[in-house]
Amino acid sequence: MGVPGPVSPDGTVLKCVNLGWGVFNVEQEMNRLTGFKVKAGNDANVAALGEMWQGGGKGYKNLVMVTLGTGVGGGVIIDEKILPGAVGAAGEIGHIPMRDDETETCGCGKKGCLEQYASATGIVRLTRRYLEAHKNENVQTMLKEDSTAKDIFDAAKLGDKVALAMVDEVGLLLGKALAAISCVVNPEAFVIGGGMAKAGEILLNVIRKYYTEYAFHAARDTVFKEAELSNNAGIYGGVRLVLE
Ligand SMILES: [Zn+2]
């Protein structure tokens, strides 16, 4: 099972704020309740494992999956296995610190995290801020205060300059963050998924552009793939955990 919180390698959940869970061993507890053998991992990590096994990352043994949805999730796969980290917090890409000038607080309690900009809610916020800061300048754009992430990408595809600038900003932050990740784990591929990835090439191209600019020279040619399993990625990953 995939759990929306950090899970250590022995199955201990270290607080899962979304579900109101404290600290306990979810594998043992689910085994007690169902009689089945249970393997658990962080949901984004398990999804990354699923994509490696049967999805967009098929054929690669070392990859980093990035899920661009309401927030930014991530999973690191090394030698076909999840890299959980000491307490299950590896792959928390969304909370890589990116900016020092942020005034609003992220869901994690810090300020300036990647997911405050590079998620569906993030690009909406960037756009709202931009429109607010330039409201007296008669900016030519089809975007409004209540534009959604999809509206912004659609406008960018039509050439709207403000929308293109917002997509560029998101691509810059993601490209830079992935270049930093690549300096640490040097994956063969990045697999990009999540609702916002449905924007397609326009987003992938700009992420790839900035990644190439910021990546260490030897890691500049890392492959970018689109995720293929959508919400089923976690189910595939869960099965793979048990098969291991
Ligand atoms: Zn955060």
Residue 185, domain CATH: 3.30.420.40
Residue 1 lies in a domain: no
Overall average pLDDT of the 139-145 stretch:
94
Give distance in angstroms: CA of 131 to centre of ligand 1.
24
For the chain, what is the mean pLDDT? 94
Overall average pLDDT of the 151-168 stretch:
98
Task: Give me the sheet containing 189-193, strands edge to edge.
Answer: 81-82, 72-78, 63-68, 189-193, 223-226
Residue 30 lies in a domain: no
Higher pLDDT, 100 or 4: 100
Give distance in angstroms: CA of 142 to centre of ligand 1.
30
- Find tokens 């916020």 and name the residue: 125
Nearest alpha carbon to residue 120 among 73, 186, 60, 78: 73
Give distance in angstroms: CA of 164 to centre of ligand 1.
25
pLDDT attached to residue 15: 80
For the chain, how many structural domains are there in total?
1
DSSP string, 147-198: --HHHHHHHHHTT-HHHHHHHHHHHHHHHHHHHHHHHHH--SEEEEESGGGG
| Domain with 104 in it | 43-243
| Tens-place pLDDT, residues 162-174 | 999 999 999 999 9
| Tens-place pLDDT, residues 43-64 | 999 999 999 999 999 999 999 9
Residue 11 lies in a domain: no
Residue 164 lies in a domain: yes
Backbone dihedral region of 9: left (phi > 0), alpha (psi from -120 to 50 degrees) or beta? alpha
Residue 200 lies in a domain: yes
The structure tokens listed for 125 are 């916020």
Give distance in angstroms: CA of 125 to centre of ligand 1.
15
Residue 5 lies in a domain: no
Residue 220 lies in a domain: yes
Four-point Cα dihedral 132, 118, 99, 8, nearest 10:
140
